[in-house]
Structure 1
Amino acid sequence: MNWSLSDLMKHKEPLHFNENLDLKEDLISRTSEILDVNLVKVDGYAIKDRDAVLISAKVTGAIVVPSSRSLRPVNFKLDFTVNEYYVEAGTNLDRFEATETVLPVQDDQIDFSKAVADNIILQIPMQIFSPEEQDGKTPMPAGDDWEVISEADEKDAQIKQVDPRLAKLKDLFNSEDSDPK
C-alpha cells in the first residue's frame, strides 16, 4: 500500500481502502517473536487535513507467537486501529498534539504496509500464554535441578520455610500455653 503524499493532498474526498496484506516475510525477518502471520486485513481512510494527511485504519488478522512460558506456538488475534498523520519533511509540527503520531515523508512516498507491520510488532504483549497455560491445565516446565513455579507457590514456600535458628521458638509458645500456672 504505497501512495504519493502529493496525490493524497489533491483528494477532496476521503480515499477509502480495504486490502488484505501479506506481511509474513517482512514481519518474520524483522523479529524472532513472530513465528507465522496470516493475511492482515486493513480497512480505512486517507483524509486530507490542511497541510497533512491523516490515515486511519482498522487492522485485523492473526499472528503466531511463542508462549512466554513453554515456547509453544500461540495464536494471537490482531484487532487495533492505526491513526497516523503524514506531513512533508520540514513541516512545522506545532499544531499537532504530543500524543498524535506525525511522520515526515521523504521523497513524497508513503509506505503504509510498513506502518501496519510496525504497529503489529508493537501489539505483541510482553507475556502471552496458551489457553491451557492460562487455565493451569498444563504442568509448569521443569528440567534437571530446576522448575518454574507460580508466584502463589513461591509465597506458600516462603511461609512454610522456617529459619532453623527460630524453629525452637515456635515450640516455646506452645509449651507455655499448655503449662498450668
Structure 2
Amino acid sequence: MNWSLSDLMKHKEPLHFTESLDLKADLVSRMAEILDVKDIQVDGYAIKDRGAVLISAQVTGRIVVPSSRSLQPVDLKLDFTINEYYVAQGTSLERFDATDTVLSVEDDQIDFSKAVADNIILQIPMQIFSPEEINGEVPMPTGEGWQVISEQDEQEAQTKQVDPRLAKLKDLLHSENNESE
C-alpha cells in the first residue's frame, strides 16, 4: 500500500481502503522469532487533517511465534488500530499533541505496508504461552539438575521452608517453655 502524500492531500473526501497484505517475508526477515504470518487484513481511511494526512486503520490477522517456555508454535490473534499522521519533511510539528504519532515523509511516498509490519512487531508480547501452558495442562520443562517452577509453587516452597536461624529460635523457645513448666 503505497500512496503519494501530495495526492492524498488533494482529496477532499476521506479515502477508504481495504487490503489483504502478504507481509510474511518482510516480518520473518526482520524478526526471526516469527514463524508464520496469516490473513493480514487492513481496513481504514486516509483523511486530510491539520495540514497532514491521518491514516486510521484496523488491522486483523494471525502470527505464529514460539512459546516462551516450550518453544512450541503459538498462534496469536492480531486485532489493533493504527492512527498515524504523515507530514512532508521539514513540517513544523507544533500543531500535534505529544501523544500523536507523526511521521515525516521522504520523497512524497507513504509505504503503509511497512507501517503495518512495524505495528505488528510492536504487538508481540514479551512472554508468549500456549493456552495449554496457561491452563497448566502441560508440565513445566525439566532437565538434568534443573526444572522450571511456577511463581505459585515458588511462593509455596518459600512459606514451607524455614530459615535455619528461625528454626534455632523456635527450638530455644520450645526448650524454655518446657523448663518453665
Indicate the TM-score class for this superposition, using the shorter chain for normalisation.
Answer: over 0.9
Which runs of structure 2 are paired with 1:126-165 in the superposition (5 Å)?
126-165=126-165
The answer to whether the Cα contact below 8 Å between 1:23 and 1:39 also exists between their aligned partners in 2 is no
Residue 172 of structure 1 and its aligned partner are, at CA, apart by 3.8
Residue 153 of structure 1 and its aligned partner are, at CA, apart by 1.2
Deviates more, 1:166-175 or 1:60-69: 166-175
Q: CA RMSD in A?
A: 1.5
Counterpart CA distance in 1 for 2:26 and 2:43 is 20
The answer to whether the Cα contact below 8 Å between 2:24 and 2:36 also exists between their aligned partners in 1 is yes
Matched, 1:72 2:72: yes
Match of 2:105 in 1: 105
SS at match of 2:6: helix
Which runs of structure 2 are paired with 1:3-18 in the superposition (5 Å)?
3-18=3-18
> Cα deviation per residue 1:21-60 (whole Å; 9 max; x = unaligned)?
0000000000022111002000000001142000000000
Matched, 1:95 2:95: yes
Match of 2:33 in 1: 33
Match of 2:57 in 1: 57
Counterpart CA distance in 1 for 2:70 and 2:64 is 14
Counterpart CA distance in 1 for 2:103 and 2:7 is 17
TM-score by length of 1: 0.94
Query: How many equivalent residue pairs?
Result: 181
SS at match of 2:84: strand
The answer to whether the Cα contact below 8 Å between 2:50 and 2:95 also exists between their aligned partners in 1 is no
- AA of the residue aligned to 2:129: F
Residue 136 of structure 1 and its aligned partner are, at CA, apart by 0.6
Q: Which runs of 5+ in 2 are unaligned?
A: none
Matched, 1:169 2:177: no
The percent of aligned pairs where both chains have the same amino acid is 76
- AA of the residue aligned to 1:152: Q
Counterpart CA distance in 2 for 1:153 and 1:178 is 36
> Cα deviation per residue 1:125-180 (whole Å; 9 max; x = unaligned)?
11111000000111001111111011111122222223445434333444555677
Match of 2:117 in 1: 117
SS at match of 2:33: coil
Q: Which runs of 5+ in 1 are unaligned?
A: none
